[in-house]
Amino acid sequence: MNDATPVPRADGRVMLARRFVRAPRPLVFRLWADPSHLATWWGPRGFTTSTESFEFRPGGVWRHTMTGPDGTAYPNESRFVAIEAPLRIVYDHVTPPFRSTITFLERDGGTEITVRMAFPSAAERQRVAAEYGAEAGLHQTLERLGEALNGAVVEAAFERVFPVSPVAMFRMWTEAGHLAEWWGPRGFTNPVCQLEPVVGGAIFILMKSPDGTEYPMGGEVLIIEPPHRLAFTVRALASDGSVLLEGHNAVEILDHAGGCLVRLRALGTARDPAALTMLAGMREGWSLSLDRLESHAATSAERVLFIERRFDAPPEAVFRAWTDPDQARRWMGPRGYTTTIFEPASAPGLSWRACLVKDDTGEENWQSGKLLVFEEPGRLVMTFAWDRADGSRSPETIVTIVFLPQGQGTLMRFRQEGFASIPAREGHQGGWSSSFDRLADLITGEPA
């Protein structure tokens, strides 16, 4: 948004114009400070401007030619008197003579531009206005500047439904391995993707287009509240490390029909004129990235394990069988295994671990993770991985167990997601199914 604001004349010698543009002041200043940018908007409507000399410093000369719609050329020469980036530019125009002072004031999230042209006399001002249409031309010039800055600030909002849990989706936004799989339009890759998932944590992504062009970007985590809320900045960087544009992004992840609903609000602000074209494609760029995220989530959904079981006991009892160490040791693990150690987490954010021993060989199988959600007696969410003998760990998965009252009993919905492969999912399905048979025996009083 930009608008013209009527301004009173200081005296009969002065021509004044003012315009507000929704763009950051440093960006607006740069469009006055570079002849390649001036050429896109300088002059009344229908005019073009070519610059022969531009020395942007006090004492420097600016020579340019404005060509009207009828082909008439109007040579101009000015000398810069004062430059205070990004606050003020002052120059003296040679013929006709006047001093032009341009000021840039930050206001209401944008910039107010004021141009003051002071002539030697009121008569000279009137002559220039009548002979050259200077007053109308000045206002048209600022209108063209406003049009050039359209799109300097872009807002966009998106909603998408995904077939994975909020916990899994949150990981797709906050773990570099996931993020690298979907960030950017289709065909782009992210050979470098780094993200520190803490408030103030740094983000760096090197995005590469299909033709090999590299687009570096940095940023910072502003808010991180797993698994529902995330906010972060992203800054597109030039080859010299300067910021071309800055984006502020807020992500909300909600439970939705067995999966999740993602709400994204993105605000992009150009910091350099080169970013205006980039921002024009911001909405499409985010939409294409979210398309890739959908594909990534769908692939992950194929590797999700679902098991539903009904137990003849209230949710409180089934929940307790998962969280009480003495009870958990009696059923956890498939038939042919004995759980010798089960150390539950006492609160979200703390770790748990268990040891399952194979009855016929004595082989120990350790598993561990972190408790994420503890809502007695309705829901448990935890991470899960196998601890290998060599000190490494299997890919971490997410386990969600929901306990729903059903008549006099409980419907338990078990979900494990994040498997590296479908065979890994299928292998766990057999183990968990056998374990839940033992859980049913425990609840009914049969030997587990």
Tell me the per-residue pLDDT of 205-256, one tens digit each, with 9 for 90 and over.
999 999 999 999 999 999 999 999 999 999 999 989 999 999 999 999 999 9
pLDDT of residue 6: 47
Rounded CA separation 441/170 (Å):
36
Confidence category of residue 10, pLDDT binned at 50, 70, 90: low
Q: Which class is domain 305-444?
A: alpha beta
User: Domain ranges in the chain?
Assistant: 2-148, 153-302, 305-444
Q: Which residue has the higher pLDDT, 321 or 6?
A: 321
pLDDT of residue 1: 43
Q: Give the mean pLDDT of 189-198.
A: 93
pLDDT of residue 109: 87
Confidence category of residue 25, pLDDT binned at 50, 70, 90: very high
Please give the share of the chain, as a percent, with pLDDT higher than 70. 97
Tell me the per-residue pLDDT of 378-417, one tens digit each, with 9 for 90 and over.
999 999 999 998 999 999 999 999 999 999 999 999 999 9
In terms of C-beta distances under 8 Å and separation of at least 24 residues, what long-range contacts does 212-216 make, across chains too?
A: none
pLDDT of residue 447: 62
2-148 and 305-444: identical CATH topology: yes
Confidence category of residue 3, pLDDT binned at 50, 70, 90: low
pLDDT of residue 177: 85
Q: How far is CA 8 from CA 11, 16, 17, 114, 123, in A?
A: 9, 8, 9, 12, 18
Q: pLDDT at residue 104 above 50? A: yes
pLDDT of residue 385: 96
Confidence category of residue 4, pLDDT binned at 50, 70, 90: low
pLDDT of residue 330: 95
Confidence category of residue 327, pLDDT binned at 50, 70, 90: very high
Q: What mean pLDDT, rounded, does the chain reach?
A: 93
pLDDT of residue 179: 94
Q: Which CATH architecture has domain 153-302?
A: 2-Layer Sandwich (3.30)
Rounded CA separation 119/122 (Å):
7
Q: Which class is domain 2-148?
A: alpha beta
pLDDT of residue 448: 56
pLDDT of residue 190: 94
Q: pLDDT at residue 274 above 90? A: no
Tell me the per-residue pLDDT of 282-322, one tens digit each, with 9 for 90 and over.
999 999 999 999 999 988 888 889 999 999 999 999 999 99
